[in-house]
């Protein structure tokens, strides 16, 4: 098992690449989710403001 992970000395490079890929993909997803939530929140606030002012 540890041999597989070590990859003949290249383990650090390979696994850091894989880790980076996972991080970037998760980050993309998180950013997309956050943006969506922010858009929804902004529209909601705008909506309430116009309702309150009418």
- Smallest gap from residue 17 Cβ to another protein (A): 4
Q: What is the 3-state secondary structure (H, E, C) of the chain?
A: CHHHHHHHHCHHHHHHHHHHHHHHHHHHHHHHHHHHHHHHHHHHHHHHHHHHHC
Q: Does 14 bind another protein (CB under 8 A)?
A: yes
| Residue 45, both tokens | 């606030």
Q: Does 32 bind another protein (CB under 8 A)?
A: yes
Residues found near another protein in the complex (CB under 8 A): 4, 7-11, 13-14, 16-18, 20-21, 24-25, 27-29, 31-33, 35-36, 39-40, 42-44, 46-47
């Amino acid at each position: 098992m540890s041999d597989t992970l070590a990859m003949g000395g290249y383990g650090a490079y390979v696994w850091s690449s894989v880790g980076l890929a996972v991080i970037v993909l998760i980050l993309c997803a998180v950013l997309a989710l956050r943006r969506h939530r922010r858009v929804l929140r902004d529209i909601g606030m705008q909506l309430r403001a116009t309702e309150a002012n009418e």
